[in-house]
Structure 1
């Protein structure tokens, strides 16, 4: 693994989409249908076709959560959400597709050194009724866990591949995260960020979920590659998300 490359988990642009190598969650494994029924694909119509650009997570039947940088500044009518599928090449039932009517981005969303700060958005969709047995919505307003240091958690997403993947990762302390990102200009706080050990997410995983103990606790924002590698998630218990 290259240890000198900086990766920003930005949405795939039209110029990039046709040349990028297929990637997935690094070291991830395939999942079973219904195991992560909350996980979706945020897609944009680029160069005449629908392209996976970021992950999204179902919050309610008409609301998905993703990273703000995935849609910020773009025409929301060019996006859609795909869910209830493990394979983006097969969108036959029970796979569902919904258009996005509007999006909410935090006013305090901004650049943060090489990445982003408060990189969180909510996507209002036409509908996303659950059809897969075992799938259920996450109630984000019940997220109360703050100290996750050392916890074994799961990240779930499509990456830049076509199959839904998951991987077990370890949360590192805020102090460790700050130390690793020293000199980058990034501001990391216990209130707003969760950091995981290793560069385990790739460009198409922006907006995907971090799940700890069955609770949706973070949204993938950006990743810093230099060894040992660090990935930064927006902490969903941050009080700023309630403003």
Structure 2
């Protein structure tokens, strides 16, 4: 099997080298760029399988690189930031990144995230529709052919997440998407609905989590 190619755009040399070593140990081919503009040039030349992209870069920043890539391609992108508060901004801009990682992080976690994102885009990843079927007209949800007994809010929450597998939603985004009447609800309300939804899913689906918590950010739907 041909090695998958990862382009790491990171301006901290030691960190870039560490990521390269861990990725190469997992049988990935790795190219490193230490500037945003250089990273964009290499992406155009090499067409890598995935872009691991730091947010704060010399030349042009990671947001601009992501915007330029998304104008013409769906190359998987994992954004990296040293500031947790930037995550909400990244999510709000809806740039199309496939995942987000906050520094400091474990290199093993990065490798695991890279593999997960590549699996989502690969042929071996099961289609979400084959696992979960949602009918918005009847508010009916079938998981592996078994009907889930969901409230209207739980159905809307599941649909909002499942419509974009792998995308991370903040609690504010989920509240805005579900409560269209502009009612005031708290973060705890979303957490409570997620807890109940997970319990109902677990009664039917024993192969792992479908709704994942992303620490300090929110939630995403992803079949394990």
TM over 0.5: no
Structure with greater proportional helix content: 2
Please state which band the TM-score falls in when normalised by the shorter chain.
Answer: under 0.3
Q: What is the TM-score with the length of structure 2 in the denominator?
A: 0.24
Greater RCO (Cα-Cα under 8 Å, separation 6 or more): 1
